[in-house]
Amino acid sequence: MGEVVELTIVERLCESLPVEMTLTLPFEQRQKSRLRTRLDNGVDVGLFLPRGTVLRHGDLLRTTSGLVVEVQAALESVSTAQTDDPLLLARAAYHLGNRHVPLQVGPGWLRYLHDHVLDRMVQELGLAVISEQAPFEPEAGAQGEVNVHHHHHDHPA
């Protein structure tokens, strides 16, 4: 019986090349620079990327054997808060940011990993909140990093 060889990914590509395989991961795993996982076709793969690398939907990676792999953002349990009022949207973003919540921002909406406590807070601010399965692509911080750590404590507003 032949030896199983695991693919190894060590490079994020800057240029656009034809995609040969896909890798679908939730956001938490797309923040890991070292990870053993499986490509969408079931093939084992190891990620060995520079520390601090955050993979985004559509990023292209190359294995040591030259295969090009496209990153796909997995569907996750998220809450999407919506309003037509830009002031309410800004207030909700402020309060969520004050709690260090990773946040995806779109026109008229905010998205965060589902949390019923945060849902209630955002609803009390006046936004409509829906729980759904959707890809999660939060904003990068000022230095480009995104840190997910769930803790709830009240900061003075």
Percent of the chain with pLDDT over 90: 84
In this structure, CATH architecture of domain 75-135: 2-Layer Sandwich (3.30)
Structure confidence by residue, pLDDT tens digits, 98-150: 999 999 999 999 999 999 999 999 999 999 999 999 999 999 865 455 444 44
Average pLDDT estimate for 56-67: 95
The strand pairing partners of 36, in sequence order, are 46
> What are the CA-CA distances from residue 40 to residues 6, 47, 58 (Å)?
14, 14, 14
How many other β-carbons are positioned within 10 Å of the β-carbon of residue 82?
18
pTM, two decimal places = 0.81
Q: What is the pLDDT of residue 140?
A: 84
Q: Structure tokens of 71?
A: 């990153």
Q: Round the CA-based radius of gyration of the chain to a whole number and report it.
A: 18
CATH of domain 7-73: 2.60.260.20
Cβ-proximal residues to 131 (8 Å cutoff; 6+ apart), any chain: 77, 78, 79, 114, 119
pLDDT of 4: 54
